[in-house]
Amino acid sequence: MTDTAKSEQVRRIVADTLFMPLEEIGEDASQDTLRNWDSLQQLNLVLALEQTFNVRFKPEEFAVMTSVEKILKQLGLKGA
C-alpha cells in the first residue's frame, strides 16, 4: 500500500470513528476543529489505527495525535 493510500485510510478511519463525512476530514482536521473529536473518540481512534496498521502506540504518543497531520507523522507517513 502506498503512503497516499495509507493517508487516505487514516482520513477514512478518522471520519468513521467520529461519525463524519470523509469530505470534512482534511489533513488540517484536529481536536480543535472537529467537535466530535473528544477524549473518548481519541481513544477509539487510536485503537482503530493500531488495529488497521498493526502498530502499538505508547500513552505519550496518543497525547500528541491530535490532528490528522500529527497522526500521519506518528505513522511515519509525513515528515516530522
Tell me the percentage of the chain whose pLDDT exceeds 90: 81
Global model pTM greater than 0.85: yes
Domain assignment of residue 21, given as a range: 3-74
Q: What is the pLDDT of residues 46-62, one digit of tens each?
A: 999 999 999 999 999 98
Task: Please report whether residue 55 resides in a domain.
Answer: yes
Helix, strand, coil percentages, rounded to 5, for the chain:
60, 0, 40
CATH value at residue 21: 1.10.1200.10
| CB 60 within 8 Å of CB 54 | no
Does residue 18 sit in helix, strand or coil?
A: helix
Task: Please report whether residue 80 resides in a domain.
Answer: no
Number of domains in the chain: 1
Task: Please report whether residue 67 resides in a domain.
Answer: yes
